[in-house]
Amino acid sequence: MQKIMEEYINQHWLPTHPGVAVKTVAGSGSNGNNVGASTVLTNSLAGQVTDVVTGCCSDVQTYNGAHLLMPLDPLLRKANVDTSKFSQGHLAALQFAGQQLGLPQYDGPEVLIYNEAILDALGLAYPDPNWTYQDANRLWAACTSKAKGKAITGAGLDTGDYNWLVHAWGGEETDATGTVAHFDSEQSIAAFTWMRDGQIAGVVGGGGSTSDIKAGHYAFGANGGWTIEDAAVNLQSVKWNYAPMPKFPGGPSTFVNNDFYGINQYTKNPIDLVWDIFNFVVLDDGFQKLIYQTTFVTPNRTDLWDDWIQIVRAVAPPLKNKHLEYYQGAMSYGWSNQFFKYNALTVQNLKGTWINKIYTQKVDVRLGLQQLTQQINALETAGASYAAVEAAGAKTAATEFPTTGPTVAMVQPGL
């Protein structure tokens, strides 16, 4: 992929930028396994700068906590970029303190993939496109069974991703500042109670991959857009289809992968030059289509959806008659990770610890979420206090965590 990207840039971008060299470096997670966010971060603060950064998952926390990402709003306005063509949920997940710090690399909204053969065998109707979570509860429960040594779980969902679930019940993880947790809200308690009860009953689990669907272990599974081609290839022998996520008390909700591009504000190159390559990699139609055709990820711009579908159908004919339009619809209300301003990575660990206790019934839902909220808010208060001291000039992050010299200290996000 690196070689293909560099070849395309050499052919289509470098001719208008004589004397410039472009080198790609593998990122972390779904962007590669060579260089993780912490390495990019440490190198950048030590003066070895990557101009355009990309990341997934918790990378945005790491970068944002160390103030690595440059606000894009002035550049977007200057270039007259129409951001309405991106998934709005994904865009919102990359906004901090009212500033756009990244643009989507691609969108991976989840819809549900299901094994029609299981429903047929049980005499159950397929889900209606306008179904509610109560409808889903009944259908998933009817599919759940244990017979002849084979267990079927009704639905595999993103049990470990808290944001879409809280949003589904009309709640929010934080206030607008990203410094006050709201996990103990009534909406949040209702959401986690629903998920916990489903797991206790054996109706909901954390699986649901295409291999689970094919093997008949799950009737339904949350299927991200990045696995559309996986479904087409692996489920040719199975009667299957897509369905939209059901409507929850707070409206429709889905997880969206938060892979992103950003500009490193420590760059030593002219910002106009850095913007040119950032703009090309993120917005150029030809480059985007090359990425789709090479990696089969969903488009990060809804205006390219039809072009991308043609590419998919040409390579994966079994998808031709499936309900791909649900993915396009999911992009309009997608929800992704909302991060806390201070101590973001510690907060993520806390969430995982307490939600696991709730799901394994080691603690009551309300009590667990109250404890989680109190601990997060204590961390955020401590982070704000440190920021206030730093702003007053009493001490700085540079003195506490030097970024030059023989020993470069690891940078803690938020400090």
Instruction: Render pLDDT for 209-233 as a digit per residue (tens, 0 to 9).
Output: 999 999 999 999 998 887 888 888 8
State the Cα–Cα distance between residues 25 and 47, nearest whole angstrom.
Answer: 16
Q: Is the dihedral of CA 289, 290, 293, 294 positive or negative?
A: negative
Instruction: Specify if 278 maps to a domain.
Output: yes
When comparing pLDDT for 162 and 397, which is higher? Answer: 162
Of 5-9, 147-151, 212-216, the poorest mean pLDDT is in: 147-151
Of 181-185, 243-247, 269-273, 336-340, the poorest mean pLDDT is in: 336-340
The answer for residues whose C-beta is within 8 angstroms of residue 176's C-beta and 6 or more apart is none
Output the CA torsion 329→333→335→341 (10° steps): 150
Q: Within 10 Å of residue 393's Cβ, how many Cβ atoms?
A: 7
Residues 250 and 133 sit within 8 Å (Cβ to Cβ)? no
Q: Within 10 Å of residue 52's Cβ, how many Cβ atoms?
A: 19
pLDDT band at 409 (very low <50, low <70, confident <90, very high): very low
User: Letter for the amino acid at 406?
Assistant: P
Instruction: Specify if 34 maps to a domain.
Output: yes
What's the average model confidence in pLDDT over 107-125?
A: 93
Distance from the first to the final alpha carbon of the chain: 35
Instruction: Specify if 232 maps to a domain.
Output: no
Instruction: Specify if 326 maps to a domain.
Output: no
Phi and psi of 361, rounded to 5°?
60, 30
pLDDT in tens, 42-83: 666 656 678 998 887 767 777 877 788 999 999 999 999 999
Q: 284-291, long-range: CB within 8 Å, 24+ apart, which pairs? A: 284/12, 286/8, 286/12, 287/8, 287/12, 290/4, 290/8, 291/106
Instruction: Specify if 375 maps to a domain.
Output: no
CA angle 227, 228, 229 (to 5 degrees): 90
Residue 411 confidence (pLDDT) above 50: no
Instruction: Specify if 390 maps to a domain.
Output: no
Instruction: Specify if 253 maps to a domain.
Output: no
- Compute the half-sphere exposure of residue 27: CA atoms within 13 Å on the CB side of its CA: 21
pLDDT of residue 412: 43
Instruction: Specify if 111 maps to a domain.
Output: no
Of 103-107, 201-205, 213-217, 270-274, the poorest mean pLDDT is in: 103-107
pLDDT > 70 fraction of the chain, expressed in percent and rounded: 88
Structure tokens at 198: 């489903």
Residue 399 confidence (pLDDT) above 60: no
State the Cα–Cα distance between residues 6 and 23, nearest whole angstrom.
Answer: 7
Specify the pTM.
0.85
When comparing pLDDT for 303 and 397, which is higher? Answer: 303
State the Cα–Cα distance between residues 407 and 259, nearest whole angstrom.
Answer: 31
Domain of 293, in residue numbers: 2-106+258-302
Residues 222 and 157 sit within 8 Å (Cβ to Cβ)? yes
pLDDT of residue 124: 97
Total domain count, the chain: 1
What's the average model confidence in pLDDT over 317-322?
A: 75
What's the average model confidence in pLDDT over 366-377?
A: 96
Q: Which of 99-108, 196-205, 292-301 has the highest mean pLDDT?
A: 196-205
What's the average model confidence in pLDDT over 304-310?
A: 87
pLDDT of residue 292: 85
What's the average model confidence in pLDDT over 101-113?
A: 89
Q: Exposed, middle or buried: residue 272 (CB in 10 Å: 0-12, 13-18, 19+)?
A: exposed
Q: Which residue has the tokens 């190198």?
A: 43
pLDDT of residue 188: 95
pLDDT band at 287 (very low <50, low <70, confident <90, very high): very high
- Give the largest Cα separation in the chain, rounded: 71
CATH number at residue 33: 3.40.190.10
